[in-house]
Amino acid sequence: MAADLAETLLQFQPEAPQLRQRREYDLAARGFALQLSSLPAAQWPQDAETEQRILGILNPSVNSMAYAHVLRHRIAALLEKRSVCESLKPGGALWGSLVLFLETADPVQLRYVGAEWRRLVEFTEQIARAAGSVRLAGSSSSSSSSSSI
């Protein structure tokens, strides 16, 4: 199942020759964003090992839409448990993936997954606050949400 998901996540390649025209890019990006948002929750990684492998395959600056969805699903699953695991705390592997994404994501692709991006920014703030790193939350997040984990 992870191989099928990885194949799906790699379908949109922004540098593909057929996407050089703005209209073709827009149509492909909209279709891909819709495809990602309609994937059932059961198809997203349910364990850290699978999620890390998939994040390792994706490049956050090239596969920004797919990367955003994988991160959002994984972080949401962890936060539903009402705990911030070591991987998610500042300095952990998942935190590193989140920061890398926020620093390198393609802004053009982010227009198509704005809700995912916003949720990731909100997660950044929640995680930093829960870890007692309010300074990180202020510098990594533009959201003023004060919800706690």
pLDDT given for residue 108 in this prediction: 95
> Residue 17 gets which letter from DSSP?
G
pTM: 0.80
Query: Residue-wise over 7-42: b if at least 16 C-beta within 10 A, else e?
Result: eebeebebeeeebeeeeebeebbeebbebbeeeeee
Would you list the domain boundaries of the chain? Answer: 2-140
Tens digit of pLDDT at every position of the chain (149 positions): 466 777 888 888 888 888 888 899 999 999 999 999 999 887 877 666 777 788 889 999 999 999 999 999 888 888 877 666 777 888 888 889 999 999 999 999 999 999 999 999 998 888 888 777 655 544 444 443 333 34
Residues 123, 78: Cα–Cα separation, whole Å: 11
Which residues, at least 6 apart from 51, have a Cβ–Cβ distance to it below 8 Å? 45, 70, 74, 94
Residue 72 near residue 116 (C-beta atoms within 8 A): yes
Amino acid identity, residue 65? M
